[in-house]
Structure 1
Amino acid sequence: MMPEQHPAKPHAALSSASFFLFVLLLTAANLRAPITAAGPVLQDIRQTFGLSAGEAGLFNFIPLMLFALLAPLAGWLGNRLGLERSLWGALCLITAGSLLRWQPAEVALWGGTLLLSAGIAAANVLLPPLIKRDFTAHTARYIGLYAATMSITASLATGVAVPLSQLSTAGWRLSLVVWALPGVVALLVWLPLLRRRPSASAPAAVAVTQRHPWRSTGGWQIALFMALQSLAFYTLIDWFTAFAQDSGFSQARAGWLLFWYQAVSIVANLGCMMALKRVSDARLLAFIASSGIFLGIVGLLLKPQWAAIWLTLAGLGAGASLVLCLALFNLRSRSHRQASQLSGMAQCVGYGLAALGPLFFGVLHEQSGNWTLPFSVLALLSLLQILLAPLAAQSKPIS
């Protein structure tokens, strides 16, 4: 998809592709589970501290807003301090935040959530450029497995949260603190990699032709593509259960459908990974993935009783779109430094809108008194993603 690139020689510890893949997947296992583990035990947390529904909603809002606000800073730090050191620092924040939430105090709960969300925000940005720098030839494979690992551990955290909370008197605190363990392991595995020193400078030819993504049309195309797919995904995650119950589904049935929506996205992560390795141009893949989201949303609006079909389409589209976004940070950049900048920009715009999307959707539902208006607006935004897809997934570097 891109002209041939010549990455710098990787660090000796990273020269083994299998070891790098192990480090990558271990890191990815820390990037969603600490957040999704809170959802199933949120009612228990509310009862412990007497939280209102609005305060409980911050458990979804805070991570997404920090993903957005800290993304550009993470990209800058990665280029300034080195990707390995910055990623290790991010894992320190994730692990410390998870451990802090073990304390039976409300301030520890919120402080831990802020810390781990900040760490995840940084790691989200820094992993794609690390792949770009050292393993350009494996971009599609590593990005796909990285996305699938995040999805699998997020689902696992959701599934085991309640059983873990019932094992001891610690209750929901055990469900949250257990996800510090992957963080501790990842910190130890990363230690040998911290000896690498940041390269002094990029080749002159690359430095001359690079443009910062914030000043690039291509950068904005990718950022908006990520924003639209993230907005649709998180809006459905937050609101599908309420919509399904109003459409005649039981709460249990709605929960299983939502689980299915996330499960099929994992299949799409891996499927898109394999497809990217076989095509020279990702525009058709981006169009198909975006169309799946659009058809799923329109189907839910017109025939909600067929929700399983529509969530399958939307889930496949969401999973493929995520992998495409992460891959485009590398495929449309000229160096790992520009990939870091593009990753920071796209995640700033993408997660910022993703955080506001469910709130706006809820306001539309409350003001209209039905689901037609909010789902119609969501469908229009997904149609915009279809139109934007061929532009965002072009094969040429951003300019």
Structure 2
Amino acid sequence: MTAASPRIPSPLLLGVGLMLVAFNLRPALTTVGPLLAAIRMGTGLGTTGAAVLTMLPVLFLGIASVLGPRVSRWIGPDRGILLASAVVAAGLSLRALGGLVPLFAGACVAALGIGLAGVLIPGLVKREFPGQAGLMTGLYTMTLCLGAAAGAGLTVPLQDLFGGSWALALAAWALPAVLGTLAWAPFARPSRAPVAARSEVTRPVVWRSPLAWQVTGFMGLQSSLAYIMFGWVPLILHDRGLSAVDAGFVAALMSVGQAPAALLVPTFAARLRDQRGAALAIIGLTLATYLLVVFGPLWLVVPATLGHGFGLGGCFGLGLTIIVLRVRDAAGAAALSAMAQGVGYTIASLGPLGFGLAHEIGGGWVLPSTLFCALSLGAAAFSLGAGRNRQV
């Protein structure tokens, strides 16, 4: 008598469960920015401390990304995603304690869960939806952006609801993370087969591949642009004269603008012979709209922020799509994802830190904007290699 095969879930239900997990992979990163002024006022946190606060979570994303393949081999990607979602919920809950230590610790713990999920999900998409990789990557990144928008736009009203407590406003996002964890639990089954053993793309092969390094460079630099804006755009808007509520609302519009691009760009790019043109176009849009947000007329802030969000969402969705397209199978996607996100997020963590330090040194937004321009040009240069029709 042979053992029964694990029951394969409905693709629709699996996709819904995956989207519920994805929704909770950005609020931990976008909820601090709208409350940064209140946190600094309530705790005495300086500009350098704020820069470190925006940098540390991105660094821990990279650390978790390196651990992703080991977790996948240990308990499988399905259970690994469940673990990641639970860790995100735990990190968000820590913030309820208030004070700087729980704030920093919660950010790092939540980022570990986010980074782990970010590595495991591309491989799962490649395994479960091999013929719809572009569409599913687009839906996944669109849902990430909707979660980011909710975090940016609703956190200040939550602070008012909780009597001005920024700690409770941040911790409230643990509730949807718990719900996402419960929704994924039915799909957290053992892997059906040791996929890694059949793959031609092993970890040493990836680390020796120039193409893999080009993908990593593009992923890291475009991510740096996004995390700079997650952490600093509310303060930029506040300095331009917007109230805390209005700055949070406009920052939420930036994340809303990411959603359609996160769906459309991967779907479109996956059909192209190569992705170099799409990458240059979306990076150019991101840079142009950033300059309008920071230096353009105030009446253009809202449309410019929406356009900037479209650019950021397109860059991120394109980065994930390139990871999937540059390999042949699920294990290859997991190996390249671990490298591109592990090393990439380590690179990306320097962006928010450098941006904050440049703001402190320059006393305005000209010097930080010069850094943003340099990072954009670097991402464009790496995209010329990463977007070619090649496979690792």
**TM-score (structure 1 length as normaliser):** 0.83
Q: Percent identity?
A: 31
Pick aligned residue for 1:149 from 143, 153, 160: 143
Partner letter of residue 213 of structure 1?
A: V
Shift of 1:325: 0.8
- Counterpart Cα distance in 2 of 1:165 and 1:245: 17
Q: What does residue 323 of structure 1 align with? A: 317
- Counterpart Cα distance in 1 of 2:164 and 2:365: 40
Is structure 2 residue 216 aligned with structure 1 residue 232?
no
Q: What does residue 360 of structure 1 align with? A: 354
- Counterpart Cα distance in 2 of 1:351 and 1:277: 23
Q: What does residue 218 of structure 1 align with? A: 211
Range that drifts further, 128-137 or 353-362: 353-362
Assess, with a 3 A threshold, how the Cα gap between structure 1 residues 159 and 77 changes in structure 2: closer, same or farther. Answer: same
Pick aligned residue for 1:73 from 67, 83, 97: 67
Q: What does residue 4 of structure 1 align with? A: none
Is structure 2 residue 306 aligned with structure 1 residue 285?
no
Shift of 1:267: 2.2
- Counterpart Cα distance in 1 of 2:371 and 2:339: 25
Q: What does residue 95 of structure 1 align with? A: 89
User: Does structure 2 conserve the Cα–Cα contact (< 8 Å) formed by 1:364 and 1:373?
Assistant: yes
Alignment of 1:178-327 (within 5 A): 178-197=172-191, 199-200=193-194, 202=196, 206-207=199-200, 212-240=205-233, 249-251=241-243, 257-276=250-269, 278-297=271-290, 303=296, 307-308=301-302, 310-327=304-321
Superposition CA RMSD, Å: 3.2
User: Does structure 2 conserve the Cα–Cα contact (< 8 Å) formed by 1:67 and 1:120?
Assistant: yes
> 1:351-398 CA deviation, whole Å, 9 max, x = no partner?
222221132234444445564444334323322322332321222212
> 1:1-20 CA deviation, whole Å, 9 max, x = no partner?
xxxxxxxxx96343x22111
Shift of 1:25: 0.3
> 1:212-242 CA deviation, whole Å, 9 max, x = no partner?
3221111111111112212222334444455
| Uncovered stretches (5+) of structure 1, i.e. residues with no partner | 1-9
Give the count of matched residue pairs: 386
Pick aligned residue for 1:342 from 326, 333, 336: 336
Pick aligned residue for 2:7 from 12, 18, 27: 12
Is structure 2 residue 30 aligned with structure 1 residue 32?
no
- Counterpart Cα distance in 2 of 1:357 and 1:344: 20
> 1:261-293 CA deviation, whole Å, 9 max, x = no partner?
332222211221442354343232222112212
Alignment of 1:118-133 (within 5 A): 118-133=112-127
Q: Secondary structure at the residue paired with 2:142? A: helix
Q: What does residue 7 of structure 1 align with? A: none
Q: Secondary structure at the residue paired with 1:166? A: helix
Is structure 2 residue 380 aligned with structure 1 residue 382?
no
Q: Secondary structure at the residue paired with 1:396? A: coil
- Counterpart Cα distance in 2 of 1:167 and 1:245: 21
Q: What does residue 21 of structure 1 align with? A: 15
Shift of 1:64: 0.7
**TM-score (structure 2 length as normaliser):** 0.85
Range that drifts further, 206-215 or 121-130: 206-215
- Counterpart Cα distance in 2 of 1:196 and 1:319: 32
Shift of 1:211: 5.7
| Uncovered stretches (5+) of structure 2, i.e. residues with no partner | none
Range that drifts further, 320-329 or 334-343: 334-343
> 1:234-253 CA deviation, whole Å, 9 max, x = no partner?
3344444555566x644566
Assess, with a 3 A threshold, how the Cα gap between structure 1 residues 173 and 379 changes in structure 2: closer, same or farther. Answer: closer
Assess, with a 3 A threshold, how the Cα gap between structure 1 residues 35 and 78 changes in structure 2: closer, same or farther. Answer: same
User: Does structure 2 conserve the Cα–Cα contact (< 8 Å) formed by 1:265 and 1:315?
Assistant: yes
